[in-house]
Amino acid sequence: MSDLPRKAVTRTAKLAALPLGFAGRATWGIGKRIGGKSAEIVGRELQQRTAEQLFKVLGELKGGAMKFGQALSVFESALPEEVAGPYRAALTKLQEAAPPMPTRTVHTVLEERLGEDWHDLFAEFEDKPSAAASIGQVHRAVWHDGREVAVKVQYPGAGEALLSDLNQLSRFARLLGPLIPGMDVKPLIAELRDRVSEELDYGLEAQAQQAHAEEFADDPDVLVPAVVHQCERVLVTEWIDGIPLSEVITDGTQEQRDRAGQLLARFLFSGPARTGLLHADPHPGNFRLLPDESGDPAGKDGMDGWRLGVLDFGTVDRLPGGLPPTIGDSLRMTLDGQAETVYELLCEEGFVKESIELDPDAVLDYLLPIIEPAKVDEFTFTRGWMRSQAARIGDPRSPAYQLAKQLNLPPAYLLIHRVTLSTIGVLCQLGATVRLREELEEWLPGFVPEDAAALEEGESAAEA
Residue 246 pLDDT > 80: yes
Task: Check residue 240 and give its pLDDT.
Answer: 95
Q: Does domain 103-158+198-237 have CATH number 3.20.20.70?
A: no
Q: What value does the mean pLDDT take over residues 235-252? A: 95
DSSP assigned state of 226: P
pLDDT over 90 for what percent of the chain?
Answer: 49
Residue 410 pLDDT > 60: yes
Q: Which sign does the torsion angle of CA 252, 285, 149, 212 carry? A: negative
Q: Binning pLDDT at 50, 70 and 90, where does residue 38 land?
A: very low
Q: What value does the mean pLDDT take over residues 137-143? A: 96
* pLDDT, tens only, 416-443: 988 998 899 999 999 999 999 999 999 9
Strands, E, within 335-463: which ranges?
379-380, 433-434
207: Cβ contacts below 8 Å, ≥ 6 apart: none
Residue 198: alpha-carbon gap to chain centroid: 16
Residue 396 pLDDT > 70: yes
Sorted by where each begins, the domain ranges of the chain are: 8-96+168-196, 103-158+198-237, 325-463
Whether residue 90 contacts residue 73, with contact meaning beta carbons closer than 8 Å, is answered with no
- Residue 121 gets the label, from left (phi > 0), alpha (psi -120 to 50) or beta, of alpha
Determine the Cα angle at 329 with ends 325 and 330, to 5°.
120
Measured between alpha carbons, how far is 135 from 364 in angstroms, rounded to an integer? 41
Q: Binning pLDDT at 50, 70 and 90, where does residue 173 land?
A: low
Task: Check residue 275 and give its pLDDT.
Answer: 98
Residue 105 pLDDT > 50: yes
20/339: higher pLDDT: 339
Q: What value does the mean pLDDT take over residues 261-265? A: 98
Residue 93 pLDDT > 70: no
Closest by CA to 342, choosing from 374, 324, 368, is: 368
2/275: higher pLDDT: 275
Between 108-117, 120-129, 285-294, the lowest mean confidence (pLDDT) is in 285-294
Helix-, strand-, coil-residue percentages of the chain, each rounded to 5 = 60, 10, 30
Cα-based distances in Å from 275 to 13, 210, 239, 271: 43, 10, 22, 6
101: Cβ contacts below 8 Å, ≥ 6 apart: 3, 4, 137, 155, 156
Residue 382 pLDDT > 50: yes
Residue 92 pLDDT > 60: no
Answer yes or no: pTM beyond 0.75: yes
- The overall average pLDDT reported for the chain is 80
Task: Check residue 243 and give its pLDDT.
Answer: 96
- Amino acid code (one letter) for 317: D
Q: Binning pLDDT at 50, 70 and 90, where does residue 204 land?
A: very high
DSSP assigned state of 414: H
